[in-house]
Structure 1
């Protein structure tokens, strides 16, 4: 059984989906791919189904009825993966902002170096972001500093969405207790792993903003993160994160 699977959530990614799938499959290490599509009206799921004829044993598709948030898409994917024998479960965007060539580096950090969570970090060695406006860089980098101050996590890129989880981390988390569905979801997942004392490492990567398709980031998602971090921290203090 293949030991690693990459979850790619999609909504209107017809311009990117075939290229990202082919690029992941062309890496030196073999990965399976699970696409979780939120009923994209642009035909993203149909393209995946077409590609499944070429990769019937390594490309999988889960279709949801509506667009209901990045966090719920990943949780859907996590549950699917945990029913199988995958040992390493990845999060990755469909738009090439995360370089598929870095998958093996995240994998090695867990498989060879003993990390339970490896993060493709934009900020562990300076600021490695391409094609973002200054305002977006300030918002993202500032958010990571804010999260570090509030939570105490020694993670420089807490909002990163390019991640490898050892299955033991996901098995330890009660997904019903995950409160956030947008930007804050990534923070909450890392915080739960941190509280459970799993080894977390950051692997430096270069993040390149999408060139095709539209960004899904909105002001409401950002506000969820800003206010959610405080409530998340208070919950950990008063409830001691008993799950």
Structure 2
């Protein structure tokens, strides 16, 4: 039976057959996983592109300070312009790569390295693996309750994580905007001298930017897992 399932799954995938609802559910889930990234990534591309335009305008309008070509304000705007442009280009590549898997999920799904062989142990994980194997082999569209429960737990976990990290994302964005605006206001003032508070704004301002990007990645990843739990569950079950 251990050898029969991988062979059956491989034949179904290669033939492109729609006769196995269980496998079709996995393939649709795989397509959804990438579609979420395409949609969210497309929105992020638009946001970062708009931010790049905004920082470009601010850069061109920022005045020279004491005859210097690159004052602190210009350096800040240029740094944010460069960062946003790089993130925009990176997101375009990611969206394009995931779009191919969204439009043609069968090819990408067939490349997944999933070892469907299992042990005969009495553990809960082995029970899940057996149930998953039997579901795929049966071709039944009705998901076994033990597997559906696993899907529901994954959805609940990643949804909660996405909400928490999304809240942190908003917090870090707000803090970043506040700190950089305050720092730029202080720099523009007459007789500006770097003090401890200004250095703190600079350090924590950079930290919030990094944390914002990190939270953005975490939110997107958890949204994918929440909307498409089946394929990830299969990979976690049989590749660990």
**TM class by smaller structure:** under 0.3
Q: Give the structure with the larger strand fraction.
A: 1
Tell me the TM-score normalized by structure 1: 0.23
Does 1 or 2 have the higher relative contact order (CA < 8 Å, sep 6+)? 2
Q: Give the structure with the larger helix fraction.
A: 2
Tell me the TM-score normalized by structure 2: 0.23
